[in-house]
Amino acid sequence: MEEKQIMTNEQLEAAINSARAKETFANVLIYGAGAAMILMFCLKKIPLAIFFLALLLVGGYLWGKSAGVAKKLLSDQVVSGVLKEVLGDVVEYNPWGKINPVRMEFPFSYNSVDGSDHIKAVYNGLNMELGDIELMDKTEETDEEGHTMTRQDMVFKGQWLTCDFGQELAGQVYLSERTKKDRRSLKSNVSVDNEQFSRRFCVRADDPREAYRILTPYMMELILTIADKSGGTVYLAFLRDGKMHLAVQTGRKLFELGSSNAKVEELRRKFLAELRRFTDVIDLLRAEDSLYKKETNV
């Protein structure tokens, strides 16, 4: 097995910033060569168009290679340590892997899934998964000349958390946080007594009694607190098999470098805070007794 070379903060910052500089150069090459290629084709200067096409391909290769170097450095030198500090030693991490979503009550439809930074871990005895996820709606459009084009709209970008609480839950309930945009498209089939919760969340369940078992007054306040601290729009699913799914539309990635030069200690603090935001959800929910199915004497 290849050993990871431990770098000083200064070495790591220099290496990441160098990879990002190459990535920026590749981006400039891609856009410049692409624009020039289109212009040459329009002017019917085919040899020049082919030359700029070659430059475009070179730029794409350089971009992919530089982005991969930066991500691997970040994963090996920063993210792995953060994961161990928060989640312990039982962690599997794939920077290029993706989590599999399940049914949620989304105010949109999607037919394509992408993702990265897939984490599988045992956190305080519970199996959990976490990762970045992008949901896209792909449609094919045909113009007047019969040419078919694929249009891809990103409808969700954020994080997806799955936690198996290890015992059957009290019901199957779906919660969707309302935004101004989708306020009308999300309709509850369960009414709750908490006016603030009712305004903010759409509640759906096959059996309303299951929703009432889980959504006690305290649990609703807990979910409101989770939503306030989530950093995005929250979608929750409590499933009878014991699993809870939380999707948060943040519009960003979990382990994101940002636009400024890399500062290793700042990145560590930022990544720790992001990761603990999700483990805090697990800690809060696992302690709430209403979440679990009660044994009944027949």
Q: What region, left, alpha or beta, does residue 179 occupy, with left being phi > 0 and alpha being psi -120 to 50 degrees?
A: beta
The pLDDT tens digits of the residues spanning 216-269 come to 999 999 999 999 999 899 999 999 999 999 999 999 998 877 765 668 888 889
Give whole-number Cα distances, 58 to 65, 90, 172, 175, in Å: 11, 40, 51, 46
Mean pLDDT of 96-102: 91
Pairing status of strand 233-238 against strand 243-249: antiparallel
Distance of CA 50 to the CA centre of its chain: 38
Three-state DSSP state, 115: strand
Domain layout of the chain by residue ranges: 1-87, 89-291
Three-state DSSP state, 158: strand
The pLDDT tens digits of the residues spanning 13-66 come to 777 778 777 777 888 888 898 898 888 888 888 888 888 888 888 888 777 777
